[in-house]
Amino acid sequence: MSNEEKLIFEEWILPMRVEQYTCSVDSLDHAKDLNTSYNQTGSQVQNCLLQIITLVQKIEQIPVTMYDFEITHYGSTHTPTTTFPK
C-alpha cells in the first residue's frame, strides 16, 4: 500500500437517475430479477460512460488521458469504484 496522496486533476460529476420497472408475483423471483436488472443496468451505464470518454479523447483540443481514471457509482448502500488503466 502506498503512502502517496491521491491527486484529482479533474472531476466530472454526472448526476443521473435510472428507474426500472419490474413486476413479479413471487418475492424470491422479484429479488433475483432486481439483482439481475441492477447488474445489467450498472454495466450499461459504465459502458456508456466509457463511450463518452472515448469520444471526448478524439477531440483534438482536449488532451489525451495520461492517468488512470475512475468511474464511481454512489448507490443506496454501497460505493463501488472501478479503475480503468490509461
Please determine, for residue 83, whether its predicted confidence score (pLDDT) is greater than 80: no
Residue 68 corresponds to which cell in the numbers above? 488512470
- Give the Cα separation of 70 and 49 in Å (integer): 11
Other beta carbons within 10 angstroms of residue 57's beta carbon come to 12
Predicted confidence band at 86 (pLDDT cuts at 50, 70, 90)?
very low
According to the model, what pLDDT value does residue 14 have? 72
Cell 464511481 sits at which residue? 72
Q: Looking at residues 52-80, what average pLDDT do you find? A: 65
Residue 78 clears pLDDT 60, i.e. is over it? no
For 12-27, how does the pLDDT look when each residue is reduced to its tens digit (9 = 90+)? 777 777 666 656 566 7
Q: pTM for the whole thing?
A: 0.46
Q: How many CB atoms lie within 10 A of CB 72?
A: 11
